[in-house]
Amino acid sequence: MNLLLKSEKDCILVAELLSDNRVLGMCTVQTLISTAEGGAVGLLEDLIVAADFRHQGIGAKLLVEAVNWAECQGLKRLQLLADKNNLPALNFYQKQGWNSTQLVCLRKC
């Protein structure tokens, strides 16, 4: 998180309960270069809302702000990775208008 805080090309969004300084949720947008898109693109990461504050629209607002930030930065695409077993999150993203792709995620280490 410290690396993200120092980065000028990435973004950390926080939903905060101002009355008691409590963080209720967050997400990050990290930028990459896409040669296919011919410019900077974003990877949305770390979206989470505190369990006792879910289903109040906080996750949806964080997503909207992430998209706004990406548009303001001129990012040509915004994507995210989700565990295929995380059905609640997949349902949530679908409801927010995010579409599945045919991409498959591979990892080496």
Shortest approach of ligand COA to residue 30 CB, angstroms?
A: 14
Residue of 95, 64, 100 whose CA lies nearest to 80: 100
Shortest approach of ligand COA to residue 26 CB, angstroms?
A: 9
Phi, psi of 50 (to 5 degrees): -55, 135
Shortest approach of ligand COA to residue 68 CB, angstroms?
A: 16
Using CA atoms in the order 11, 27, 14, 66, what is the torsion angle rounded to 10 degrees?
A: 60
Alpha carbon distance 98, 81 (integer Å):
11
Shortest approach of ligand COA to residue 32 CB, angstroms?
A: 17
Greatest Cα-to-Cα distance within the chain, rounded to the nearest angstrom: 45
Q: Which residues pair with 8 in a beta bridge?
A: none
Judged by CB, which is closer to ligand COA: 1, or 36?
1
Could you list the residues that contact ligand COA (CB under 6 A)? Answer: 47-49, 54-60, 82, 86, 88-89, 91-92, 95
Judged by CB, which is closer to ligand COA: 9, or 95?
95
